[in-house]
Every structure is written in structure tokens, then in C-alpha cells.
Amino acid sequence: MQSNDEKRCRTAFTMLQLNKLHMAFESNPYLCEKRRNELARDLQLSESQVKIWFQNRRAKVKKATGTKNQLATLLKEQGLYNHSTTKA
């Protein structure tokens, strides 16, 4: 784990970058490697920045909609899943 001195600065996306990321996300919330590479190149971002933005956006949507992982729900019902990431 990095210390606070080594922590990377938060990326400040431009409005143009955000608009294009949002449009790409609405088209498909998951990226293949080729599409991630294209977006990164077009937006002058690293592939990692694009990947993390999509991960964070999916998490935000999941949190806002309250959607639960169907497999985790099924396993929990069967008593095979005892890991919870939400407060009981």
C-alpha cells in the first residue's frame, strides 16, 4: 500500500472527457480491451484511468439502484454465502 506521500493525485476529467465516457457507458457499461484502448487514446487518458472510471460508474449505478448480485443472493439463500458488503 502506498503512503500518503506517494498517493496519486485525483484525476480531474474535462467536461469533454466526461461526456464521452458517459456516452460510452450508456452504450455498454463493460469495455473490451480494444474499446478501452480506443477511449484512452481518444481522450488522452491512460487505460487504467478509463478502466477505473467504468468500474466506479458501475458501482455508483449498483449502489443507486440497490441491485444485488443474483449469484450472491442465490448462494446466500442456500446458506453458502456469508460475506456481506452491506450493513445488515
Q: Which pLDDT tens digit goes with each residue over 36-63?
A: 999 999 999 999 999 999 999 999 988 8
What rounded mean pLDDT belongs to the chain?
85
For the ranges 6-10, 20-24, 31-35, 82-86, which has the lowest average pLDDT?
82-86
Distance CA 12, CA 46 (A): 13
List the one residue out of 2, 10, 35, 7 whose CA is nearest residue 21.
35
* Angle between the N-to-C axes of helices 33-43 and 47-65, in degrees from 0 to 180, rounded to the nearest 10: 110
61 HSE (CA, 13 A, CB side): 12
Q: Which has more pLDDT, 83 or 79?
A: 79
72 HSE (CA, 13 A, CB side): 8
